[in-house]
Amino acid sequence: MKKFKYLLTASALLLLLCSCSKDIKNQTLTGTTAVTTEENSIALTTQAGSQLNTQNQTKPENETAPTAEVLQAGSGAAVLGGGKTYTGKKALPLRSFKIEDPENTRGLSEKLNGYGYGVAKDGKANEISVNNQKYFDSKGFNALSLDLKSNDKALYLTFDCGYENGYTAKILDTLNQKNVTAAFFCTLPEVKENPEIIARMINEGHIVGNHSVTHPSFPTITRTEMAQEIKGMDDYLRTNFGYSEPYFRFPKGEYSDCAIDLVGSLGYKCVFWSLAYSDWDLDKQKGADYAFDTVTSRLHPGAVILLHAVSPDNANALGRIIDYAKENGYTFKSLRQYGN
């Protein structure tokens, strides 16, 4: 009897070792969203509060089915009480993301590019911004750095919101007074910590853009991890705000051809910029007049303007900047209008 018990124990240990070996072989992150691997693609599917099972794959004879990967589900499972959202809108169902070519077998460049745009002057975009847009277009990338399509003096006002510094409400007040819509590219911590402000952006007609969950440098992570960053943010907005729009901005402005391709394949437009200044450094704020002079001196038709909502200078100068632009024939457009 004792010998039989030892045999059972040995069998159980062997099964445990096989299981551990399989877990080590498969890439597994915390969370419970199943990812189905197909030929050169992975389908990310999440459902709030549930785990999806890996689907069986159809495979040709003598060929082994690809290994399934398990990825973090994202943050969309945290529904407000009673199914309510911060905006009062109905929660949206979570999207399934299909990751094309997760291993980058096509060999798209993974070189990290720090985004440069050049300083515009005399009402003309810098050549760097012009060439950026031409490059994106030539590659078929769904990316915008400068509007080369509009015939009018279009401006696109965008803000990056990594965290709150007490000035976003004032910026929203000004935009409401001036009847201008903007895009706010937010990280997940900003959205979680300031839901009332995010709800106000949405309900007042602004775009809340996807700026990732953890603000990583996208060229340094895998295509699957990129999709996870975008999906985690989208899940949370859908569940807690009843909202989603397909606009993305790379954290730190760092990108690669591979990263732009991945983001575009998920249905998002990568939004860069052609006008910005060092407004993000809170130790070097130089006053509202400096902000006004800097931004207005660099205005040009088709400009995508990047400002940071943490800057008191921007908050205090924004109304004057908008008035000046309108007086000089510029029209503020939403990113939704680009290409129309």
Given 160, 234, 261, 313, which residue is catalytic? 160
Domains and CATH numbers, the chain: 105-337 (3.20.20.370)
Given 211, 257, 308, 313, which residue is catalytic? 308
pLDDT number for residue 80: 67
- Token pair listed for 291: 């902000």
Is 152 part of the annotated catalytic residue set?
no
Neighbours of 195 (CB within 10 A): 16
b/e sequence 169-191, b meaning 16+ C-beta within 10 Å: ebbbebbeeeebbbbbbbbbebb
Q: How far, in Å, CA of 220 to CA of 330, rounded? A: 38
Q: For each of the chain's 340 residues, which pLDDT tens digit applies?
A: 444 343 334 444 334 334 434 333 333 222 323 333 333 444 554 433 322 222 233 333 333 333 223 333 344 445 566 678 999 999 999 999 999 999 999 999 999 999 999 999 999 999 999 999 999 999 999 999 999 999 899 999 999 998 899 999 999 999 999 999 999 999 999 999 999 999 999 999 999 999 999 999 999 999 999 999 999 999 999 999 999 999 999 999 999 999 999 999 999 999 999 999 999 899 999 999 999 999 999 999 999 999 999 999 999 999 999 999 999 999 999 999 998 7
Is 160 part of the annotated catalytic residue set?
yes
Q: How far, in Å, CA of 54 to CA of 288, rounded? A: 55
